């Protein structure tokens, strides 16, 4: 169903270590503890990635976050956000990046 927001998403990493909650105030937890993700745009990127089962094209994310910015600037900005998010997540395999797409590790929905 298009546009459906996931209430909770467990990344299938060592048994459900990271949970992303999008209903109510969005939050990220690891082993039941709140996980601090710096910067609102970084959190927004994580929340957007968590709504999809498959990686999202970088072009789509660039247009979403910087619709009025040149492609080069938007890609540079996105790379910076991805780097910050990668360092904020406790498990390197939680973020899957490719040249053209970005996604989260394999997941299960509750």
What would the two tokens of residue 73 be?
Answer: 């600037």
Task: List C-alpha distances in Å: 31 to 39, 92, 102.
Answer: 22, 16, 24
> Where do the domains of the chain lie, and which CATH numbers do they carry?
8-109 (1.10.10.10)
Q: pLDDT by residue (tens digit) across 45-77? A: 999 999 998 999 999 999 999 999 999 999 999
Chain-wide mean pLDDT for the chain? 83
């Amino acid at each position: 169903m298009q546009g459906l927001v996931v209430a909770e998403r467990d990344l299938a990493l060592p048994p459900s270590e990271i949970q992303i909650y999008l209903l109510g105030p969005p939050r990220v937890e690891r082993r039941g503890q709140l996980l601090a993700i710096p910067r609102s745009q970084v959190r927004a990127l994580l929340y957007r990635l968590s709504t999809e089962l498959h990686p999202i094209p970088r072009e789509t994310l660039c247009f979403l976050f910087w619709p009025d910015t040149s492609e080069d600037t938007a890609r540079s900005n996105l790379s910076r956000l991805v780097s910050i998010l990668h360092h904020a997540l406790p498990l390197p395999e939680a973020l899957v990046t490719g040249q053209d797409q970005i996604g989260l590790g394999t997941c299960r929905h509750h």
